[in-house]
């Protein structure tokens, strides 16, 4: 009876430790929980057309770092926020974040480049346009390095899914680096 209590206690400790560690590794950080912006120049202005919007503009060497440690660099950034709230203690809701010129998004082992990008915070989607290229580097055993070019891409920040669109003039073009991995090389008999 004493041995079974010891084993049960040991099993319980191992199970709780495993469960707590599994919870820590599966929790996902909301990338938009905290945004740090740096640039050489910035300005803030209310819209002159009567709409209750505030525009925050950043220029020259813009770098935005998100809570999940992903980042976007560009030459220009505009953040559009509503100013209709009556409580001045709260941050106004951000409608969208627009990046222009030499946009480079880095998340995990992916680097996505484009001329323009728009982040919709409510859907966690980043739409990239003009000269889009996606590169995945090999950082884990399962990773397959690739490089893809297209005119248009959508990046889902929550799922890490990238959707690419081309056309007849400039189709989606992907280069996959298989290397000398024996799984991909057909053996001669």
Q: What percent of the chain has pLDDT over 70?
A: 72
Span 84-106, pLDDT tens digits: 655 555 555 787 899 999 999 99
CATH 2.60.450.10, domain 28-176, yes or no: yes
Span 111-149, pLDDT tens digits: 999 999 999 888 889 999 999 999 988 877 777 888 889
Domain boundaries, the chain: 28-176
Q: Is the pLDDT of residue 9 over 50?
A: no
pLDDT recorded at residue 145 = 84
**Confidence (pTM):** 0.72
Of 95, 94, 127, 91, nearest in space to 112 by CA: 127
Q: Is 138:127 a contact under the CB 8 Å cutoff?
A: no
- d(CA 49, CA 166) in angstroms, rounded, equals 36
Mean pLDDT, the chain, rounded, equals 78
End-to-end CA distance of the chain: 62
Per the DSSP assignment, residues forming a β-bridge with 94 are 81
- Which of the pair, 94 or 75, is modelled with greater confidence? 75
Give the DSSP H or E segment for 6. Answer: helix 2-26
pLDDT recorded at residue 109 = 86
């Amino acid at each position: 009876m004493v041995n079974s209590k010891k084993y049960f206690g040991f099993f319980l400790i191992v199970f709780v430790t495993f469960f707590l560690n599994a919870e820590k590794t599966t929790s996902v950080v909301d990338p938009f929980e905290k945004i740090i912006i740096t640039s050489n120049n910035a300005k803030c202005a209310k819209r002159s057309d009567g709409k209750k919007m505030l525009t925050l503009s950043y220029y020259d060497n813009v770098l935005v770092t998100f809570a999940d440690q992903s980042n976007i660099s560009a030459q220009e950034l505009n953040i559009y926020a509503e100013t209709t709230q009556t409580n001045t203690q709260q941050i106004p809701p951000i409608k969208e974040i627009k990046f222009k010129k030499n946009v480079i998004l880095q998340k995990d082992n992916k680097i996505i480049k484009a001329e323009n990008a728009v982040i919709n915070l409510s859907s966690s989607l980043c739409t990239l346009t003009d000269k889009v290229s996606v590169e995945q580097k090999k950082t884990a055993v399962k990773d397959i390095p690739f490089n893809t070019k297209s005119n248009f891409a959508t990046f889902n920040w929550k799922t890490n899914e990238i959707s690419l669109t081309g056309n007849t003039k400039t189709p989606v073009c992907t280069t996959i680096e298989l290397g000398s991995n024996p799984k991909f090389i057909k053996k001669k008999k």
